[in-house]
Structure 1
Amino acid sequence: MAQNPATPKLRRLALRIAARFGLATHLPHQRSEAAALALRAAPPAPLGDGAEVVFLIPLVGRAHVGDWAQVSAALARTLQGFRNQTDPRWRAIICGQDRPDGVDFDDRVQFLPFTDRVEGNDKWDKLDRLARHLPTLGLRTGYAMPFDADDLLRDDAVARMVSGAAPGGWLVTQGWVWDVGRDRIGAARPQSLAEPGQKALWKLCGSTAAFRIGAAGAGVSEAEAAFLAAVTGHEHRMFPYLATLAGRPLRPLPGAPAVGYLIGHGENFGARRGRVSFKRRFVDRFPAGDAGRNDLTRHFP
């Protein structure tokens, strides 16, 4: 499965307007937009008690990388960021061809085998499998968050998500971009008049959207699973648009930068797709300084 193309911005605007009047189905739309419109008819129930955050992690196959030990070590660090959370209401599902080395699997961290034969990058197929697996988890209510196997989560992020009020879900707008190879850290935050070249983290990184799922007593619906499967087939910059089209807009996660986005370490998806150079320039243009380095040291694994 190849990554699905983004909908042109003018068509996105037209679909959002048409959706308000119940006319969007009469306009051309993609599978993801059809799934969003189907979900729009079923507003999410109140979050209630027992909310969890489920991290959906696609893991590259051993045969597609040059250093499997490095991939496994990066994933172990990502998982340690989850285990360091101040709120224990989370679980992680890893989908891949090969069980990573040095990872402890338990009731919180589970492995979902992937056996399909796919030509090219299979990340999107794994995300599809992860999304469709959600209804089987027995989850009552919470958020599903696609998360790359080499990114890092701040230790209070889960607490902020499950204790806050976001009927549609959360969007991480602030974070650190860490160029590991050069050991330089940039600060990502929403664009402003003072910083017209800035970018919110969700425009740079895919580990930034937590979609609202489930309802007490009902669990995760097949419509929600189908929506997430379709959404994650796109680049992450489509996520807020599709959530809004589904009637579940993502709310900016308040507080400190919540995600550390790692680039330049050789085995991440971005490097294999040749999409790292402009992010390196971003790090140089918006250095985080001591504040970023200290925050990464204190609150990230």
Structure 2
Amino acid sequence: MAQVPATPKMRRFSLLTAARLFGPELLLRNSDLQASERAALALRAAKPAKAPENPVSVFLIPLVGPHHVGDWAAVCARLNATLRSFIAQTDTNWRVLICGQASPDLPDDPRITFVPFTTPVEGNDKWLKLCQLADTIPTLGIAQGYAMSFDADDLAHPTLVQEMHDRRSAGGYLMTQGYVYDVGNNRIALAQPASPAQPLCKPFWKLCGSCAALAFDLTDQPEAEIARIAESTQHEHRMFPYLAQLAGRPLTPLSGPEALYLLNHGENFGARRGRVSFKQRFAERFQITDAATLTQIRQDFALD
């Protein structure tokens, strides 16, 4: 199953402008919409965004099947490192859903749930797993919170959940800053928006899929909420801010680097599609060299 192609940038601009000027109802009459755009506009038409009360963050992890990897034990070890980064959160109000063909040994924590995936798929099954994960959210009994797709080899900063819950953004959050860790070359770089001093730098959300948390409210029209989450995850992560805006729920930048993206560790799917080399060059160009900063990063993300 293939990832749904991104909407061209000029069309994104025109749809956002039309939604603002004419409203979502008129646009929904247009048959030439992606499913994600239709779901975003339908949610916008159904109800306004509001800050969640007593939020719980739900992390959606699609786990690759053993038949797609060369070292299943290494995949399981990285997943457990990811899960430990959630267990280390300073705010304990989170849940993790993991969808895959085979369940590895998981930490004994009731907040972590494995969702079996049994649908036969040719090729990359990540997108169907993300759909199944979104459909599973209502079974958790959570009324309001944030849903965030998260790769099984990335790491969360200990204060990620706390910041999201303390600020209670009505739309959700976007990671504009984050760390890129080239494991093979032992380099850690800071991804952040470009500046006059670093015009070639990139924001974290353009490099890593673990970058956006979408606010949800299942107390009213939950089907529209889940459809919006499920359809948004079918695209590359560069579509997340656009779709959030189209839904009338723009994403709020987090205050600092709240995630660490691991690449070049041997089982990245991006490497198999030829998409990792430029990220390795990014890590080399924007490598952090200050010893004290590196020590703090390694401590925060338990890299040693």
Scaled to the shorter chain, the TM-score interval is: over 0.9
How big is the shift at 1:105? 4.6
1:292 deviates by 4.5
Answer whether contact 1:176 1:288 (CA < 8 A) is retained. Answer: no
Instruction: Tell whether the 8 Å contact from 1:135 to 1:219 is kept in structure 2 after alignment.
Output: no
Offset at residue 26 of structure 1 (A): 4.7
2:104 to 72, 77, 100: 100
Q: Residues 242, 292 of structure 1: CA spacing in aligned structure 2 closer, same or farther, 3 A cutoff?
A: farther
Question: In 2, Cα distance between the equivalents of 1:136 and 1:273?
Answer: 35
Compute the displacement of 1:113 (Å): 0.2
1:226 Cα offset (Å): 0.7
Structure 1 residue 191: Cα displacement: 1.2
Could you list the runs of 5+ residues in structure 2 that have no partner in the other structure?
none
Contact 1:213 1:220 in 2 (8 A): no
CA distance in 2 between counterparts of 1:143 and 1:225 reads 12
2:88 maps to a residue whose letter is: N
Distance 2:95 2:83 in 1: 10
Q: Distance in 1 between matches of 2:137 and 2:44?
A: 19
How far is the alpha carbon of 1:296 from its aligned partner? 2.0
Aligned with residue 73 of structure 1, among 69, 72, 77 = 77
Task: Give the C-alpha shift of residue 270 in structure 1.
Answer: 1.6
Alpha-carbon shift at residue 222 of structure 1 (Å): 1.1
Match of 2:178 among 167, 175, 179: 175
Where do 4+ consecutive residues of structure 1 move more than 4 Å?
A: none
In 2, the alpha carbon distance for the partners of 1:253 and 1:160 equals 8
After TM superposition, list the pairs within 5 Å mapping 1:1-301 onto structure 2: 1-20=1-20, 21-22=22-23, 23-27=26-30, 28-41=32-45, 42-48=47-53, 50-101=54-105, 103-214=106-217, 218=219, 221-254=222-255, 256-290=256-290, 292-301=293-302
Report the secondary structure of 2:28's partner residue: helix
- Higher deviation after alignment, 269-278 or 1-10: 269-278
CA contact (8 A) 2:51 2:171 kept: no
CA distance in 2, matches of 1:14, 1:109: 41
**Contact conserved, 1:154 with 1:258, CA < 8 A, in 2?**
yes
- In the alignment of these two chains, the number of paired residues is 296
CA distance in 2, matches of 1:134, 1:219: 14
TM-score (norm 2): 0.94
Offset from partner CA, 1:138-164 (integer Å, 9 cap, x none): 111110000000000011111001111
CA contact (8 A) 1:135 1:222 kept: no
Q: Is the 8 A contact 2:49 2:248 kept in 1?
A: no
**Paired residues of 1:138 and 1:219 also in contact (CA < 8 A):** no
SS in 2 for 1:289: coil
Does the C-alpha gap of structure 1 residues 219 and 261 become closer, same or farther in structure 2, counting only changes over 3 Å? farther
Q: Report sequence identity in percent.
A: 56
Report deviation, 1:46.
3.0
1:104 Cα deviation from its structure 2 partner: 2.1
Q: CA deviation at 1:219?
A: 7.0
| Distance across 2 between alignment mates of 1:99 and 1:87 | 26
- The separation in 2 between residues aligned to 1:165 and 1:127, in whole angstroms, is 24
Amino acid at match of 1:72: C
Counterpart of 2:236, as a letter, is E
Output one character per residue of 1:61-118: Cα deviation in whole Å (capped at 9) or x when no partner: 01110000000000000000000011101110000000013x1253200000000000
TM-score, structure 1 normalization: 0.95
1:10 and 1:267, CA in 2 relative to 1: closer, same or farther beyond 3 A? same
RMSD: 1.4
Would the alpha carbon gap of residues 238 and 94 (structure 1) be closer, same or farther in structure 2, given more than 3 Å must change? same
